[in-house]
Each structure stands twice: as structure tokens, then as C-alpha cells.
Amino acid sequence: MNSSFLFLFLAFLTSLFSSIKSQSPRIQGILLNCGATTPTEAFGGLTWLPDFAFISTGTPRNVSLPGLLPVLSTLRSFPGAVRRRRKFCYTIPVFRGSRYLVRTTYYYGGINGASDPPVFDQIIDGTFWTVVNTSADYASGAASTYEGVFLAKGTKMRVCLAGNDYTDSDPFINTLEMIILDESVYNATDFTKSALGLVMRSKFGYDGPVIRYPDDRFDRFWMPFVGTGQLARNTNNIFWFLVFELASCKYFDSALTSDGDNLMEMQWPPFSLQAPATMFSLYFADTSNGSSRIFDVFINDYTFYRNLEVTSSGVSVFATNWELSGVTGISLVSESVPPPIISAGEVFGIIDLGGITATRDVITLLSLKNSIVNLPLDWEGDPCSPQQYSWSGVSCSNGSQIRVISLNLTNMGLSGSLPPSIGNLTALTDLSFAHNNISGNIPDLRRLRRLERLHLQSNHINGSIPLSLGNLTNLHELPEDDILLNLFRQQHNQKDKELAKKDHTTCGTTVLSGSWQLQLTLAVIKFLVRYTNTLHEKKRVDSTELSEAEAALRDWSLETSLFILLFESKLSATNVLQHIPKDALREVKPIATGESIWGKVGEKAVLSSNMSQWRLRGINLRVAIETSSFEFHPTYQVLSLAEEADL
């Protein structure tokens, strides 16, 4: 063991009151009876609220078994979590900077129809907490509880359940408790960097029922542990300890000690530890009327503390970050009478905090939730963390600052409109809402300078094409479709018949009249904004032919090449060139008549009879005037294969 990671703290408690409080203060926090419809009173008069005000998904269920406690007779289950690795979250209002005891309770009751309970994950905000496996407890007829201590970093804390690959049954939960702890409780832990997950909490030398509220004003569970030592009971000289918030003498009215021997040994916890790092706390108080006791404390033969003096005032020794695994043995060694004594103990696993999504991105996605209808149900909790449970359609970066880099909500049956705030997702490289029912305008996206792909096709978007698209130097995918054609028509007052979509079954192709103007307009928006109107007002073409092979390659690159083949007797390269300023032309290169352009395009060869080529500020345009053997109007092809030609 590396002793440099062991920090021992000795806390001596002094008597602050001459009498013992008979009743603890009321718990501060929120207690939820999941799946219930009305408040429930249980456990020393505590009031449990129904949970529907704190979660918007899940299915309330009743457990119909005789003799169940009221808070175990209802639960909330979450169908579909396993199949899609979804997470479902309770959103609890909290006080920023406060320390919270978070406890969840599970009693299966066979509500999913399977004999064995499901196994699933627990998450707090962006931190993976633990795997919930209640099988052993349920087999013995008991409920399972999981407890941790977490710091509230904001005004809301999200407690989530998530499906994993262990079982195919739905997660569920019976109760959720969020209790505020005093700053003096577990104050040796830096909760800005880690959290605590309870492994075991025991009252030694005691074989009665679990001690909790009102004897513990934070409703911590103290489990009985008799062990093999001699049982010692004496409450006459036990004081109420404020510093450790041990709100009742019942913590120290029993203890384990040796039977007159100077050595006391015990295995505790009574199972192997799995956590790589732990907080290990031991509590001592002398329950006799005699003098103080002095002894050494060893954990697995390692010196935990030497010459520990124990009186009726009480003392605690704890290590905040100790690497323990396997069986843990505690040895107390005294060189004189009376023999050693031990009263209680706690073991916590150290939970490394996960990252959280940048606040600006969270705010933007929440505004999107208010604008878009039918978003995935798992849009709860942190959008990016834990990584395996990011929101559906959301991909994020790694590192110290977690940003949303992709928003792909294609074909999800969404409706509503895109909020202007979507332009605040400045780390986005991919934005796709294709094949939904989104309406309204395209927002100003000028701040999305990293955007590479923008897919908005097959929606009901209206308005105009934002000129801000021309400032996105990394944008190289912007599929054309009826939406963009309609935007182009509205923007430039084109007639419906000029931009009508036609199907030509004779050659199995789809014809989009005028789409070359859209492509050229979008190119000019980027490089020659002031010449847009001049170009689109000139001669138009009548039809566009896109083969099936080409239809799959309709993404075009503003950064590299845009190839346009024009078949229109009234439009020549000269007509187009005269409306482009000379300083935009890098090269004009005639191509010989009859020269083959890249061989086959689709399933037929394309030969030019008259062609000119020019380079327009990095965009390569190839214009050809050809004759067609088809019966309908001459056609042109839009190509986006930059690798096909080195222009």
C-alpha cells in the first residue's frame, strides 16, 4: 500500500450537552414515493411525496404483495431503456453548493413478468454512480438500497436510471431520497472532484433493527453488526456528539470489545471490497465508567493509528482515499487494561466525477426542447455524459470542456421550428433534421464556423436561404431537394412551373428543372454574394437529369469543387462568364470538341461538343453545350466528385 495516499484525521469530540435530545430535527430535503399518486407517511412521521412532478416519463406500477411497506407497494418503471440504452431522469431542485445524501430503494415485486429483477445503471448528472443489481436481496425477500453523497453544482440535480446489456428487462425505482447534509458531515472529502458511494455502515455490538430517523437526523441507515467480540452496553456516560452529527446516544450504547484480552480482531465489512479507493471511518467511545483506553489500530496489518485514546467523549479515525480491496481485517492492540473497544464504522467507495456538458450547449438544447415536438424521451439529464448515455442524436467531444459536435435527428417524426439559439452550438460539425416536419425559417448559422454538414431536406421550411451560409468555410454537404428549390423560388420569384419536379419513366430518372441555378446561387453566396441576382436572372435551363448513381452523390462541396454540365442552346459559357467579375476568374481553359469528360457518368458516356472551363475562387465550374438523343428537353448533370478531375 502506498502510504502517501493515506490521510489520517483524528477528531476528538467534547461534551456539548448535558442531556440527550429525544427528537431529531425534521429532515431537510425531498423524499419521493415513486409511482404514487398521493403523499405517504412512514418511518417516524416522514412524508413521502408522489414523484410525478419531478419526472415526465415512465409508467407508474403497483406491487400487489401482502405486508409491503407503503413506499414499496408502488414504483415507476421505464420501458424501452434497455433496447436503446436510454436514460430516464428525475430532476430535483437543490441548493447550489450543498452536500446531499442520495438514496434509492428498489423492490422488484415481479412487475416485469420475469422471475429475476432487471440489472441497470444509476447516474447522477454526468457521473456514472453504480450498477443496480437487486437479485440477491429480492431472492431473500428484501428491498435493496443504494446511497451516495454528492455535491450540488447547480440549482438542479438529476438522478437517472439507464438500461445496460446485463438484462433485457425494464429499469424501475420505488423511492428516491435527497437529504441535505451539514457541512461538518464527511467534510474531509473534496466533493468538487469526487463523490462517495456507501459500501457499508454498521453499529457494532448491536443486533436490533436498523437505526435510522429519528435517531439519525439525516436518516442514515446503521446496520447491526455483532461480530465475534464481547458485547458491551452502557448508556450512562455517553454524550450527544454534535461534530459528527451522531444525533443520538444509540450510536454508542453498544460496542465490540475483547474478552479481557489486549488484542481484538474482526473482519469488517464481512465481504470483499471491490472499490479501488475508499473512505474508511471508525468510531470509538468508552461505554464503561472506568478510565480512558489507549490502543493501536491496524487495518490489514497496516498501521491505521497509534496510541488512540478513547473516552466517553468519543473519537473517530478515518482515511479519505485509501486503496483497499478484498477481505479487510481490523486489529485493535492494547498494552494495558481495559481492552480495546470499537463502536461503529463506515466504508465508502470513491466515485470519480464525470464531466458535464458546457452550459451554453445545455441551454441551447433545452431551448430546442421547447421548440421541437416529439424529441426522444431520453433527452433528460446531461446531454453528453456519461458518454455511453448521451442523448439520442447527440454526439459530443471529449476533454476538459465537453461540447456538442453533432446533432443528427434525421427521420424522427419531429415537428416545430428551429430556434435562433441553435446558432450558439458553436462546436457543431454536423446538423441534420432531414426527413421530419420542421417548419419556419432557417436560423442564422453564421457562428457555426466548424459546420461541415447541413441536412434540412424533406421538411416544411420556408423563408429565404440565409446569406450567412456563405461564411461557413468548412461546409461541404448541403443536399438539394424541393425545400431548397422552393426557397430559391421564393427568394428569386421563380414561377412554379419553371421549378416543377418531373418524373421521366423512360430513363428511370428524376428531373428537377432549374436546380443548376440553386447550385450556382449557393456557390456565389459564398464567394460572390453581390453577383447573385445578376447570375440567376439570366437564361435558365429547362430540366435536370440525375441518374440513380448520381442521386446518391448529390452532396456538394463549397470548399473543393462544384461541377455543372449545362445543356441549353441559349446559354453559353460566354453568357455566364460575362456576369462574373474578371478578378474572380483564375483560369479559362477551352476544351477540345468531342473530348470525353471522365468517361461514363451513371450508365452512359458523356461527350462534349463545345466546352469551356473556369475556376471561380476555388470552385471549379465546367460548362458544356451538348446535344441529346433523348426525346424530351436537353438535359444537364450536376456532379460533385472532386476526385474525378484535377482542375
Q: What mean pLDDT is predicted for residues 491-518?
A: 33
Q: At 484, is the pLDDT very low, low, confident or very high (cuts 50, 70, 90)?
A: low
pLDDT given at position 426: 96
Distance CA 57, CA 353 (A): 26
Q: At 122, is the pLDDT very low, low, confident or very high (cuts 50, 70, 90)?
A: very high
Domains and CATH numbers, the chain: 3-22+196-352 (2.60.120.430), 34-181 (2.60.120.260), 502-509+535-647 (no CATH)
Q: At 82, is the pLDDT very low, low, confident or very high (cuts 50, 70, 90)?
A: low
Distance CA 179, CA 94 (A): 10
3-state SS assignment for residue 553: coil
3-state SS assignment for residue 362: helix
Distance CA 635, CA 107 (A): 69
Q: At 65, is the pLDDT very low, low, confident or very high (cuts 50, 70, 90)?
A: confident
DSSP tag of 501: E
Q: Tell me the one-letter amino acid at 6.
A: L
Q: Residues 255, 341: contact at Cβ < 8 Å? A: yes
pLDDT given at position 480: 55
Residue 639: name the closest of 568, 575, 552 by CA.
Answer: 552
Beta strands in 127-238 (DSSP E): 127-133, 144-151, 156-163, 172-173, 175-181, 194-204, 223-225, 230-233
Q: At 215, is the pLDDT very low, low, confident or very high (cuts 50, 70, 90)?
A: confident
Q: At 337, is the pLDDT very low, low, confident or very high (cuts 50, 70, 90)?
A: confident
What is the signed CA dihedral for 374, 376, 378, 379, rounded to 10 degrees?
A: -70
Secondary structure, 3-state, 452-482: CEEECCCCEECCCCCHHHHHCCCCCECCCCH
Q: Are strands 87-93 and 460-461 parallel, antiparallel or unpaired?
A: unpaired
Q: Residues 244, 11: contact at Cβ < 8 Å? A: yes
Q: Are strands 430-432 and 415-417 parallel, antiparallel or unpaired?
A: unpaired
Q: At 67, is the pLDDT very low, low, confident or very high (cuts 50, 70, 90)?
A: confident
Question: Which of these ranges, 250-264, 354-368, 487-501, has the smallest mean pLDDT?
Answer: 487-501
- Portion of the chain with pLDDT greater than 70, in percent: 63
- Rounded to the nearest 10 degrees, what angle do helices 515-527 and 482-492 cross at? 70
pLDDT given at position 10: 38
Q: Is the pLDDT of residue 549 over 80?
A: no
- 127 has which bridge partners? 124
Distance CA 572, CA 528 (A): 20
pLDDT 10s digits, 3-58: 333 333 333 332 322 223 334 578 899 999 999 999 998 877 889 999 999 998 89
> What does each C-alpha distance from 107 to 85, 339, 419 come to in angstroms?
22, 43, 43
Distance CA 527, CA 305 (A): 74
Distance CA 487, CA 466 (A): 10
- 431 has which bridge partners? 407, 454
Spatial strand order of the sheet with 74-77 comes to 59-62, 74-77, 172-173
Element (H, E) at 100: strand 99-106
Element (H, E) at 70: none
3-state SS assignment for residue 499: helix
Q: Are strands 404-408 and 430-432 parallel, antiparallel or unpaired?
A: parallel
Residue 341: name the closest of 273, 253, 269 by CA.
Answer: 253
Q: Is the pLDDT of residue 523 over 50?
A: no
Q: Residues 348, 199: contact at Cβ < 8 Å? A: yes
Distance CA 415, CA 342 (A): 64
CB atoms within 10 A of CB 307: 9
First to last CA, the chain: 66
Residue 582: name the closest of 625, 544, 533, 531 by CA.
Answer: 531
pLDDT 10s digits, 387-403: 889 999 999 999 889 99
Distance CA 439, CA 415 (A): 7
The mean pLDDT value of the chain amounts to 71
pLDDT given at position 555: 33
C-alpha cell at 175: 423511492
* Neighbouring residues of 335: CB distance < 8 A, sequence distance ≥ 6: 262, 294, 295
Residue with cell 453564421: 446
> What does each C-alpha distance from 557 to 585, 639, 642 come to in angstroms?
19, 10, 8
Q: At 289, is the pLDDT very low, low, confident or very high (cuts 50, 70, 90)?
A: low
